Copies of this chain bind each other. A is one copy, B any other.
């Protein structure tokens, strides 16, 4: 039974970005454009956590919190462009559990979501397990096992593997992969992916020279071998 998270922001692009990331972590996601909508959805779906922008038309984040807090204790993470102390204090007084300043990295937001859920006594979702051949990746536990033994991966390596394993057989371009692990606007050098792949292979392949799982698709990118 996966947790539901309500994302409230008037910027559609930001909402869908956050939604993508949350879903990849195994959460169900509801969205709203303003406080009024959010209130309606919160009553109906009873989310386990709310990610809330402060600046919105119709009914802003403060107003929403004031009303919502009278009804439920749902943990709330505030998003704010202003990083002024005043905002922070006011938000925390109203009952926010954490706040994240824009612009933020998706990875940071995910970390805070997990932290808040843990702190408020709810467990992270038991991430659906991805299993291909002898490789088992557990999103919730954030762990990877190969042939039964636990493997240590860096955050980038884990994300990369999770993306590849989510669609075995599908070839991803370096750009796609960079986009998925960095989020938002691509800034870097595509070849960075090569290095992550090399390190991943060293950790999960029996013979990194002849990879059985992470295959190279010449001229395209990489893919996880379908069974």
Contacts and interface: CB of A to CB of B under 8 A. Distances in A.
A1 interface: no
B185 A98 contact: yes
Q: Is the interface of A mostly helix, strand, loop or mixed?
A: mixed
Output the residue of A99, A112, A173, A176 with the most chain B CB within 10 A: A173
A70 interface: no
A45 interface: no
Given A13-B120, A119-B17, A175-B108, A186 B98 contact: yes
A121 interface: yes
Nearest to A169: B141
Contacts of A171: 141-143
Contacts of A141: 167, 169-171
A114 interface: yes
A176 B117 CA distance: 11
How many chain copies?
2
Contacts of A186: 98, 112, 115
Interface in A54-112: 73, 75, 92, 95, 97-99, 107-108, 111-112
A20 to B, nearest CB: 7
Interface in A151-165: 154-155
Interface stretch (A36-44, A199-207, A212-220): A212-220
A160 to B, nearest CB: 13
A170 B185 contact: no
Given A19-B121, A141-B170, A142-B217, A114 B73 contact: no
A220 to B, nearest CB: 6
A73 B176 contact: no
A191 interface: no
Task: Please list the 5 inter-chain residue pairs (A to B) with the smallest Cβ-Cβ separation, ordered nearest first.
Answer: A155-B219, A16-B121, A142-B171, A111-B173, A111-B175
